């Protein structure tokens, strides 16, 4: 007879396809089956911070999770009002300043200055030009780099804490 193990549940909503792929990579590293943490990752399909928070609120209206987080960029629609709305619904915001690509570039020790479009192009070669594929993050974003990056990237620290690291 197998023993039943209580699971904590975690929902993380990524702003778009790049965040979703990265979050699946992090889940693979830190939440293997049977670890006691059930992680659900969803994609809000872009449209800015306000949309991501609104979309996340809709996701939790009919489902119960112990912890809910949203990974979003701060370059579009991010405001004190959106932050307040997230707090009221107990959504932990994983804010990528100013965008996801900038955070990833800083983790690599690279220049993260410029427009979002430029940063996407700068990051792409490090992801095999496939930023929407989970496996693209394996080569340059292993546990060692992610855990080292938590000292300089508050978003990475907050994300790893959600996984109990």
pLDDT tens-digit readout, 15-74: 999 999 999 999 999 999 889 999 999 999 999 999 999 999 999 998 999 999 999 999
Answer yes or no: is pLDDT of 142 > 60.
yes
pLDDT for the residue numbered 135: 96
pLDDT for the residue numbered 34: 86
Range of the structural domain that residue 71 is part of: 8-162
- Rounded to two decimals, the pTM is 0.94
CATH of the domain at 115: 3.40.50
Dihedral over Cα of 164, 83, 49, 99: its sign: negative
Is 3 a domain residue?
Answer: no
Is 2 a domain residue?
Answer: no
User: What is the token pair recorded at 95?
Assistant: 């804010």
Q: How confident is the model at residue 7 (pLDDT cuts 50, 70, 90)?
A: confident
pLDDT for the residue numbered 4: 55
Is 41 a domain residue?
Answer: yes
- If one compares 83 and 7, the residue with the highest pLDDT of the two is 83
3-state SS string for the chain: CCCCCCCEEEEEEECCHHHHHHHHHHHHHHCCCCCCEEEEEEECCCCCHHHHHHHHHHHHHCCCCCEEEEEEECCCCCCHHHHHHHHHCCEEEEEECCCHHHHHHHHCCCCCCCCHHHHHHHHHHHHCCCCCCHHHHCCCCCHHHHHHHCCCCHHHHHHHHHCCC
Overall domain count for the chain? 1
Is 1 a domain residue?
Answer: no
Answer yes or no: is pLDDT of 98 > 90.
yes
């Amino acid at each position: 007879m197998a023993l039943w193990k209580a699971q904590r549940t975690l929902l993380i909503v990524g702003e778009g396809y790049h965040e979703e792929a990265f979050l699946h990579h992090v889940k693979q590293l830190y939440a293997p089956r049977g670890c006691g943490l059930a992680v659900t990752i969803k994609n809000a399909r872009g449209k800015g911070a306000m949309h991501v928070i609104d979309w996340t609120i809709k996701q939790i209206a009919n489902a119960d999770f112990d912890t809910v987080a949203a990974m979003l960029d701060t370059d579009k629609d991010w405001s004190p009002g959106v932050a307040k709305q997230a707090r009221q619904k107990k959504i932990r915001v994983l804010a990528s300043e100013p965008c996801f690509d900038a955070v990833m570039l800083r983790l690599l020790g690279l220049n993260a200055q410029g427009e979002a479009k430029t940063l996407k192009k700068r990051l792409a070669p490090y992801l095999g030009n496939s930023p929407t594929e989970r496996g693209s993050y394996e080569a340059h974003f292993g546990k060692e780099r992610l855990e080292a990056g938590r000292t300089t990237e508050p978003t990475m620290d907050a994300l790893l804490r959600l996984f109990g690291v």
